[in-house]
Structure 1
Amino acid sequence: MDFIAVIAAAVASYIFGAIWYGVLAKPWQAAAGLTVEKLKQPGGPQSGSAMPYVITFAATLIAAGMVRHIMVASGVEGAVSGLITGLGLGLFIATPWLLTNYTFAMRPIRLTVIDGGYATIGSGLMGLVLALFGV
């Protein structure tokens, strides 16, 4: 049952990511310094290769498993607590790491906001879904 909860949490976050980056595609591409031509190059997400999506889902599955572990180890129960735990992990763990990496890579703050927003809300969704499964 816990494995199904982790998969459901990963799927929820993955679907949210598709919506998030679909809506923010142009600002994200500009902030990341990418063009449609670059994204269509071999191995890119618009090249017809499934690999970027497979890797992304695998990473999301790993993250959902860790969110579950943290929630169980911390005794988190209930939808609100699950949501807050996930949001906290995204906002106070994932986003600062992105900020650190992007600062040294001299990436625009807008990229941190977009990617950190996804990490925060996506993690929040993971926590909420896991809590709804009673994990």
Structure 2
Amino acid sequence: MDRTFILTAELDPASFAWLDGLRREHFPPERNLLPAHLTLFHRLSTPQTGCLDDVAVPAAPIPIRYDDVRILGFGVAIGIRSPELERLRAALRSAIGGEFSRQEGQSWRPHATIQNKGDCCRCVGAS
């Protein structure tokens, strides 16, 4: 079986604590297998991960803005906006090349999922 990898951006400690707290509060515990994260790519092959070294990673943190709450069908996410992060992801995508998953073919809308396959009303109505 071929291994696949998820590539995420590292969150600053305060953002991570805030988002992970929301995730632990609202995500169904039996499905909450990962801490809060910001996915850049959902499914990379081993050869694709070998291309990551070809991209210069910024020396300083990239500023991001939390700009909205998104309803994801059966989930809720906090939307993230960052032109710098979008440029980095585009550079990574170009360097990685190869076949991308169907999910990667859709437009990228960066977000941190705080509830998935749960009772959305509980999260949306929370204060």
TM-score normalised by L of structure 1: 0.28
Higher strand share: 2
Higher relative contact order (CA 8 A, sep 6+): 1
| TM-score with structure 2 setting the length | 0.29
